[in-house]
Amino acid sequence: MLIILTEFLWGACLASFITTMVSRHLLSKSKTYPAFSICDTCHQRLASWQLIPIIGWLIQRGRCWWCHSWISPFQTVTEIFCGWLYFLFLPLSWQTLLLTTILVCGLLVLTTTDWYEQWIYPTILPTLIPLAFLVPHPHIWLFDLLIAFLFLIIGFFPGIGLGDGEFLFLLTICLGSQAACLTILLACALSLTNRRLWQKQALPLIPYLVGGLILTITLINFGWVT
């Protein structure tokens, strides 16, 4: 039980660190943000307890302690999902730990950049390759390659970014077309929770694909998908 809790907390803390660093530095927020964390609305410096992964957001009930403005649950959700991902790959040998950490860091960078700016670094996409070793899944290679290239072509069409197509291409190569299609289905279901979809605004797809991927890995891990 202690090992499970430790791995979950490690994943949550890693998610908190990566999303913060990406949002500040890769998205150039560091030019306007101080060296410490602040409320985006009232600019009050956050206390240490407010920065505790998952718990800080829950204690504040999703609102700033001082100005009571709404705090996006994005970072908290990523912390929960990443903690859960480490749990799914238990027991962790050093090889599994290394592959999981590479995968998680890549997914966090892709998710955060797409969430805030709706673009991704294509050079980060190869961090999906550990999926092929962490989640063994049967392949029908001829069919999987056909579907993978179809996803890549779709990425050039309006409404779906090239990065989304490249993400799905690599995902299909690593896990197969069945897992990729299930990921898309679950991602679409998750995206229904975003009000921007109903307001016909542009919606970042990668965060929902990553969420769908983690749910797919969960179903495979528990034997609910063969």
Q: Per residue of the chain (226 residues), what is the pLDDT tens digit?
A: 788 899 899 999 999 999 988 887 765 655 566 667 788 788 888 888 888 999 999 999 999 898 989 988 999 999 999 999 999 988 778 899 999 999 999 999 999 999 988 889 899 999 999 999 999 888 889 999 999 999 999 988 877 888 999 999 999 999 999 999 999 999 999 999 888 777 777 789 999 999 999 999 999 998 888 6
Residue 197: count of CB within 10 angstroms of its CB:
14
Say if residues 217 and 178 touch (Cβ distance below 8 Å): no
Q: What is the largest CA-CA distance in the chain?
A: 58
Domain range list for the chain = 1-80, 89-226
Q: Rounded CA gap, 123 and 121, in Å?
A: 5
Task: Quote the pLDDT of residue 31.
Answer: 57
Q: Rounded CA gap, 179 and 226, in Å?
A: 9
Q: Rounded CA gap, 211 and 126, in Å?
A: 18
State phi, psi for 38 to the nearest 5 degrees: -135, 165
Task: Output the 3-class SS for 107-173.
Answer: HHHHHHHHHHHCCCCHHHHHHHCCHHHHCCCCCCHHHHHHHHHHHHHHCCCCCCCHHHHHHHHHHHH
Task: Quote the pLDDT of residue 26.
Answer: 65
